[in-house]
Structure 1
Amino acid sequence: MMNFNDFVNEVKGNIKLFLPKDYENAEVSVMEYLKLNRAYTGLVVRKEGEMIAPTINLNQLYEAYNTQPGVTMETVCRKIADMVSVAPIQVDLKSILNYEDVKDKLFIRVSSAEANKEVLENAPYQLREDLAITYHVAVGKDQDGLSSMFIKNDLLEQYGITAEQLHEDAIKSSPHVMPPEVSSMGALIDEMYQKNILMLTPDEREMLQETLQESSEMPTFFVVTNTERVDGAGVIFYPEFMDNMGELLGNDFFILPSSIHEMLILPDDGQVDAEMLKEMLKEVNATQVAPEERLTDEVYHYDMKDHVFEKADRFTERQKEKAAQAVKTEKDGKEQPEQKPKAKKHDMEL
């Protein structure tokens, strides 16, 4: 089996053989990239005179090369050539460097502050518990999805604004750039069922029907994401979102970070226990969610009355503190002896 370094050198040395003639003077380079939630080795093929070029994730291709039968070095190079020669989105760099031009294209994402410590050292962000809100510019949309740029400190400096201003503007424009989408878990499974039913074998159909049956017996989870269903977990921090959700449910609610793409919301009707939810989330994260798509193992809670987003165990503590305080106040009130006015000293002297 070829090791990763040999694979990278082989790709770098051969890629031009698979590219059109106008790429013969292109610059081919390999760089280490540290992005939110992931680090990878990227191949960049930059044509003469072009300002930007796509970055190809070589770690993903190496995995396919090693694990998928029939994937040869030629297959890998042809795949890269296709990705490179499909005209990359030509971005007007001047407009990206001008804050007034990007202000309405800003949107937020959330990620684990702990897992992305290194990346966050060079970028503006705000913390909500252990989640980091970061800021991005939507560069363009096509059939492959959204192209975006992560705002780091050097770009913030170029904009000449404060991190607070960036946060305020990004929170305001996010719902327009990445509109929110809320649906019940059952509705999502139904949608998958409708889409896949014709492509399933009878056995698979039966399995899916059993899953549907089980899901109808589960508590009512709501899925919060954006209409792209990509990097949608930040939707819960859109303006007024949590208050509106609470009004809709008529209740406080738990928030489970299902992945970087969505949050699950479960009404806090006294039937579920935060500890149980945390155990469930930990199990799902460990077995069902790819490491680069995980958020955290924490369960959060939104308190409608106090308008507080916090870790669920902190909410439990606050409730205990409140209850203890109420008992103490009541007790103090009862124990207070009736105060008789003190006789003045001179009244006692005859």
Structure 2
Amino acid sequence: MDFKSFTESIQDMIKEFLPSDFKDATVELVQHKKLNEQYTGLTVRKENQVAVPTINLEALYEAYDSDHISLVEAVTQAAAMVQMQPEGFEVDSLRITDYDTTKHKLFIRVSNAEKNQEMLQNVPHMLREDLAITYHIAVSMDDDAGIASTIVNNHLMNMYGITQEQLHEDAMKSSPILFPATVASMGEVMKRIMMDDMKEAGMDQETMDALIQDMPMVEDSVMTVITNVQGINGAAALFYPDQMDKIAEGLGGDYFILPSSVHETLVVPDDGKMSFLELRSMVTEINATQVRPSERLTDEVYHYDSKDKVFEKADTFDARQKAKAKQQEKDVSNKDQNLGNAVKTPKKHKSNDMSL
């Protein structure tokens, strides 16, 4: 069965797998657009239901096409997801139209501006180089169901009667509270992951400690990982208030920023050991081979100048430093030239002839 036939079958069959209170619901196929992602989805909306989840039919079809699930199993899964709507998801129950309530649920996300330019036309955002900071409302946060959120678009912002500057300010206050930033060395992160894996395998603490201690890569990594406690859309944590300065203080100076994915960024000290071109090549290769397209941020490498407090593309920083060095050479040359002219030109003194 091709994808079109599959989606139409799901649409026709889904009500048979839902409770009776869905008998008058409207079932629609929609083109769902999210940051970094677009897919064919399915919505099932009861009368008077304002917000509903969108089921990703492309993901279901992939499982069906690879013979992992049957059509009946695909419909069953879709029906289950329709009913998994978390408590509080309804716009009215959240009082999403009340900004005084909503502003405490605001958080930021960061995405590639060029890849999302169509969506960005309709949502307030702030550009940091080629990255776009957008504003979202955490509708619900649950350890099991995950995070349900909605993006703040221009219509919603205008309804609130606020400026984008106010929206940004409030989101910057609430984001670190809802999604606290974490800063850890790559070694610490690797150690934590390996410890979790070994625990699941049933190892005792003594054995785990011995194995970790014998792994030099845990201690040798110079990279630092920036994300949030939840590990979801954690790349935005880099842009929290004063976060870049805190990182610079911990590293002792300037650093390069490698966008690992939308979920995290890596930072490397700018100590002359690696050029930004080498780092960019590494990011490009990892993105192409290890990061899902929907989770890619960019192939660019960025730099933070801790003295001038400037976040910029690494090649822009490189050009700026070369221009600064050239200007300094020019200033020194002009100074030497002026000094030389002063030495060569004898001073003229006024004198008066006196007769006795």
For 1:156 and 1:273, the matched residues in 2 are separated by 42
User: Which residue of structure 2 aligns with residue 129 of structure 1?
Assistant: 129
User: CA, structure 1 residues 340+156, in 2 after alignment: closer, same or farther (shift >3 Å)?
Assistant: farther
User: Which residue of structure 2 aligns with residue 65 of structure 1?
Assistant: 64
User: Which residue of structure 1 aligns with residue 208 of structure 2?
Assistant: none
How far off is 1:341 after superposition?
A: 5.5
Deviations 1:244-286 (A, max 9, x none): 1101111111100000000101111121111100000000000
What is the one-letter code of the residue matched to 2:222?
Answer: T
Q: Can you give the 5+ residue segments of structure 1 that lack an aligned partner in the other structure?
A: 203-208
Deviations 1:65-103 (A, max 9, x none): 112x34001111111111112354333437211211111
User: CA, structure 1 residues 347+275, in 2 after alignment: closer, same or farther (shift >3 Å)?
Assistant: farther
Q: Secondary structure at the match of 1:115?
A: coil
RMSD: 2.4
- Contact kept, 8 Å, 1:254 with 1:300, in 2: the verdict is yes
TM alignment of 1:287-298, pairs within 5 A: 287-298=289-300
For 1:201 and 1:104, the matched residues in 2 are separated by 41
Q: Which of structure 1's runs of 4+ aligned residues deviate more than 6 A? A: none
How far off is 1:342 after superposition?
A: 5.6
For 1:42 and 1:215, the matched residues in 2 are separated by 43
Task: State the TM-score, normalized to the length of structure 1.
Answer: 0.91
User: Which residue of structure 2 aligns with residue 236 of structure 1?
Assistant: 238
For 1:75 and 1:193, the matched residues in 2 are separated by 35
For 2:352 and 2:132, the matched residues in 1 are separated by 70
For 2:202 and 2:130, the matched residues in 1 are separated by 43
User: CA, structure 1 residues 77+23, in 2 after alignment: closer, same or farther (shift >3 Å)?
Assistant: same
- Contact kept, 8 Å, 1:136 with 1:151, in 2: the verdict is yes
- Contact kept, 8 Å, 2:186 with 2:221, in 1: the verdict is no
- Contact kept, 8 Å, 1:225 with 1:263, in 2: the verdict is yes
- Contact kept, 8 Å, 2:185 with 2:221, in 1: the verdict is no
Question: Quick check: 169-178 or 114-123, which moved more?
Answer: 169-178
- Contact kept, 8 Å, 1:54 with 1:88, in 2: the verdict is no
For 2:307 and 2:122, the matched residues in 1 are separated by 37
User: Which residue of structure 1 aligns with residue 206 of structure 2?
Assistant: none
User: Which residue of structure 2 aligns with residue 328 of structure 1?
Assistant: 330
What is the one-letter code of the residue matched to 1:171?
Answer: M
What is the one-letter code of the residue matched to 1:248?
Answer: G
User: Which residue of structure 1 aligns with residue 192 of structure 2?
Assistant: 191
For 1:347 and 1:216, the matched residues in 2 are separated by 85
User: Which residue of structure 2 aligns with residue 314 of structure 1?
Assistant: 316
TM alignment of 1:82-101, pairs within 5 A: 82-90=80-88, 91-93=90-92, 95-101=95-101
Task: Say whether residues 1:254 and 2:256 are aligned partners.
Answer: yes
How far off is 1:169 after superposition?
A: 1.5
For 1:217 and 1:175, the matched residues in 2 are separated by 29
- Contact kept, 8 Å, 1:53 with 1:88, in 2: the verdict is no
What is the one-letter code of the residue matched to 1:11?
Answer: I
Percent identity (aligned): 46
Q: Identify which of 280, 302, 305 aligns with 1:303.
A: 305
Task: State the TM-score, normalized to the length of structure 2.
Answer: 0.89
User: Which residue of structure 2 aligns with residue 178 of structure 1?
Assistant: 179
User: Which residue of structure 2 aligns with residue 206 of structure 1?
Assistant: none
- Contact kept, 8 Å, 1:185 with 1:221, in 2: the verdict is yes
For 2:317 and 2:301, the matched residues in 1 are separated by 11
User: CA, structure 1 residues 59+347, in 2 after alignment: closer, same or farther (shift >3 Å)?
Assistant: farther
TM alignment of 1:256-271, pairs within 5 A: 256-271=258-273
Matched residues, number: 339
User: CA, structure 1 residues 257+105, in 2 after alignment: closer, same or farther (shift >3 Å)?
Assistant: same
User: Which residue of structure 1 aligns with residue 31 of structure 2?
Assistant: 32
How far off is 1:25 after superposition?
A: 1.5
